[in-house]
Structure 1
Amino acid sequence: MKICFASHNANKVKELNQLMPDDIQIIGLDELQITEDIQETGKTLEENSLIKARYVYDKHRLPVLADDSGLLVTTLNGEPGVYSARYAGLEKDDNKNMDLLLSNLKGKTDKSAEFQTVITFIDSEGDTHQFKGHVEGEIITEKRGTNGFGYDPIFMPKGYDKTFAELSSEVKNRISHRAKAIQKLLEHLHHVSQ
């Protein structure tokens, strides 16, 4: 089965394909020559995820999944949250986002945070399903590691002494917020295929 992933982010497409069984192939918007930049106008991760999935499904009638993820820092009242990708500006620059977050955390003792993901799946019949995943951890004060993307170099998951960007893909794909949401999606797909 081919499922369109409503994203132009090649890193996320690659990560999702690593999480999928052999009979499911994830294809990104670029592979389908879908060039539109889907506006994320929702106020929650659930809304943004649904907006992206619905946009692609309504235009192309393909099974589609979309995610919206956010980093929620406790002492910053859940910031950057739904604005994680564009925290430091519309250009979605990972380094500027991390620099702004670290600057906003200066002088704060509580560095606890969690990543959340909401995945929306619209099947070939047009039925909508949402799946959530989260992972707790803390923000460290310097960037470490070269794997991953986004805030991975400054997020250390609970129970580990390495950032997401220092962990192997195998470990990250087992414990991450996205992996947990995808696991729920796969359980759903397995259930409906019975």
Structure 2
Amino acid sequence: MDEGQGVDHRLARGTRLVLASHNAGKLAEFSALLAGYGITVLSAGDLALPEPEETADSFTGNAVLKAVAAATAAGLPALADDSGFCVAALDGAPGIYSARWAGPSKDFPAAMARIHTQMGDAADRSAWFISVLCLAWPDGTVQTFEGRIDGRFSWPPHGTNGHGYDPVFAPEGGGRTFADMTDAEKNAISHRGRAFDLFRAACLPLD
């Protein structure tokens, strides 16, 4: 992680921040998380930025790739998230390929059904979400933050909130899935919320 030389890498109020994603669900989630900090969030889609190919072999590598591409193209600080759903019985799959399992049409019900089918009657139902946030600056600095939450694969899917694999993930200590929770409940404990807490402490305005 290059911290840069003589540059303040904490975002200031009034900053325009690019969210390096075309995912409407992520944009809504991050807009809610950043509310109150005086930061204007623009998505890569708003700026018609291309989506870079995610060629790295880790969540951190893909988050850096996306954030740097957006910061370079827009000339603004950019925040990227690379996250995925990992299932113990599938050796951590779909993992970094979570979005690709849903295909170009983002068919997450089909992806969840695929996990269920491939798990079969496996006794180990444990699963986890990982999120890595990367804040990239036009000067080349990158800062990364990782969050994780453990739980279990819950079948059949239930709940109407959230997005992606939320309907089949029940965090430890309860029976509700992420999709059963309000945004505030989910953000308080989620992998992305935990990564965001680290990002907030290091990068968001102090006043």
> Same fold by TM-score, threshold 0.5 exceeded?
yes
Query: Could you tell me how far 1:123 is from its partner in structure 2?
Result: 2.9
Query: Could you tell me how far 1:125 is from its partner in structure 2?
Result: 3.6
Give the CA RMSD over aligned residues: 1.6
Alignment of 1:108 onto 2:122: yes
CA contact (8 A) 1:140 1:154 kept: yes
Q: Percent identity?
A: 35
**1:130-180 alpha-carbon deviations (Å, 9 max, x no partner):** 000011110011010110111000000112221000111110011110111
Structure 2: any 5+ residue segments left out of the alignment?
1-14
Cα 1:190–1:59 change in 2 (3 A) is: closer
CA contact (8 A) 1:88 1:100 kept: no
What corresponds to 1:58 in structure 2? 72
What corresponds to 2:82 in structure 1? 68
Matched to 2:53, the amino acid is: Q
Q: Secondary structure at the match of 1:3?
A: strand
CA contact (8 A) 1:3 1:27 kept: yes
What corresponds to 2:34 in structure 1? 20
What corresponds to 2:7 in structure 1? none
In 2, the alpha carbon distance for the partners of 1:98 and 1:108 equals: 16
CA contact (8 A) 1:86 1:93 kept: no
Structure 1: any 5+ residue segments left out of the alignment?
none
Matched to 2:203, the amino acid is: L
Matched to 1:59, the amino acid is: A
In 1, the alpha carbon distance for the partners of 2:129 and 2:164 equals: 11
Give TM-score, length-normalised by structure 1: 0.93
In 2, the alpha carbon distance for the partners of 1:100 and 1:33 equals: 32
What corresponds to 1:186 in structure 2? 200
Query: Could you tell me how far 1:89 is from its partner in structure 2?
Result: 3.5
Residue of structure 2 aligned with 1:78, choices 72, 76, 92: 92
Query: Could you tell me how far 1:21 is from its partner in structure 2?
Result: 4.1
Matched to 1:112, the amino acid is: S
